[in-house]
Amino acid sequence: MNSSLVGILREAAEHDEIEGVYGALFGIQGMLDEVLIDLEREDPTTIQGLSRTPAAALGSCRYRLGAEDCERALEILKAHNVRYFFYVGGNDSAETAHRIAQLAQDRGYELYAISLPKTIDNDLVETDHCLGYGSVARFVAIATMDASRDTEAMRLLEPIKIIEVMGRDAGWVAAAAALAKKSEEDAPHLIYIPERPLIPGQFLEEVQRVYRQFGYVVAVMSEMVKKEDGTLLVVPDEGPEKDPFGHPRPSSPARFLCWLIRSELGLRARFDKPGTIQRTAMAYASSTDLEEAYLAGRMAVRYALRGESDCMVTLVREPSDSYRCSTGLAPLAKVANALKTLPDEYINPEGNFVTEAFLEYARPLIGEPLPTYARLRQVPVERRLS
């Protein structure tokens, strides 16, 4: 997100028709409160440093605009003579930019609104991939490699490990764990995604099969995998958790599966749930992802200056023997509230792993090659005692 911001600022500085650049703190909520900052008064060294700074330097929010909010947003833009509006984010951000662009057009106010596709969920339509996905894919792949070696070492005590990652409605993040697998023995051994139901009995059979073959199991799953009937995976009598507002929040499905493994197979199982760190761990950022985020920021400004509006910058994979990416545009009306899930050709017939087609899609997005870990040959010494 910050790399895109730097791209916007750098490109804007090269055009005399842009007289200044403001930032709305905490996204659209900050704009509605008229909490704006002058980004041109920031130290150039600070701006440069943003390129490799995690999270959102301007802050973020989750706020759905009401009709009155749209009118208020347009009033703020008019009051500050803002003519170019750039909004970086996922589905909700695309909808926000679309509604503001539409209202400006209806009111006859000259405004050019461009959205940038930043979501680690990688679930926006009309774009080959989303900004942020390559980095979270790299994080998940390396985390799986590390957790696998730990589980392999601890297999006499805790032979089963389940890693639960983000991805409410689409399994792109969990699927990225497959990039860690370099041999049959390597993890992940199993992957479970929202696009396919998890059948508890079948899951236990798959875990048992892998355990008998290797002596340990590492499975990766999305946070909202469900059963065949669409119900959540919840430990009996536990019930759903609640957020600070009292709204139900599903319990961890990985917790349920660990309980199931202990109950039915008698094996000790643990789970790891990295949470929000998977989207903020800058040490794992993909160089490809950072470069494309910067490019998208610059291109957003260029598109706006040539009169484009109510559009999202898209990432376009060029046909080539080696990976190349350019940008394009898609109407926000097609992007807002639409969802891109893993296509069938990326999921194996059993529904518990991905195909080579997915790996070919994802490999170029994670930047440099993943680390290579050593494994002892474990040449046995002849026994001298019976």
Residue 112 phi, psi (nearest 5):
-115, 110
Whether the CB-CB separation of 351 and 154 falls below 8 Å is answered with no
User: Where would I find the beta strands (DSSP E) of 265-385?
Assistant: 269-272, 311-317, 325-331
Instruction: Return the axis-axis angle of helices 91-107 and 67-79, rounded to nearest 10°.
Output: 70
Give dist(CA 330, CA 190) in Å, integer: 35
Which residue pairs from 61-69 have beta carbons closer than 8 angstroms and sit at least 24 positions apart in sequence? 61/26, 61/27, 61/28, 61/29, 61/30, 62/92, 63/27, 63/28, 63/29, 64/92, 64/95, 65/28, 65/95, 65/96, 65/99, 65/100, 69/28, 69/32
Whether the CB-CB separation of 145 and 161 falls below 8 Å is answered with no
Give dist(CA 96, CA 312) in Å, integer: 12
Nearest to 312, CA basis, from 170, 148, 114, 137:
114
Q: Is 121 a catalytic residue?
A: yes
The one catalytic residue in 69, 121, 186, 272 is 121
Residue 140: CB atoms within 10 A of its CB come to 30
Give dist(CA 294, CA 86) in Å, integer: 14
Categorise residue 114: left if φ over 0, alpha if ψ from -120 to 50, beta otherwise.
beta
Give dist(CA 196, CA 202) in Å, integer: 13
Nearest to 190, CA basis, from 166, 222, 158:
222
In the chain, the amino acid numbered 67 is: A
Q: What tokens appear for 107 in the block?
A: 């009111």
Residues noted as catalytic: 121
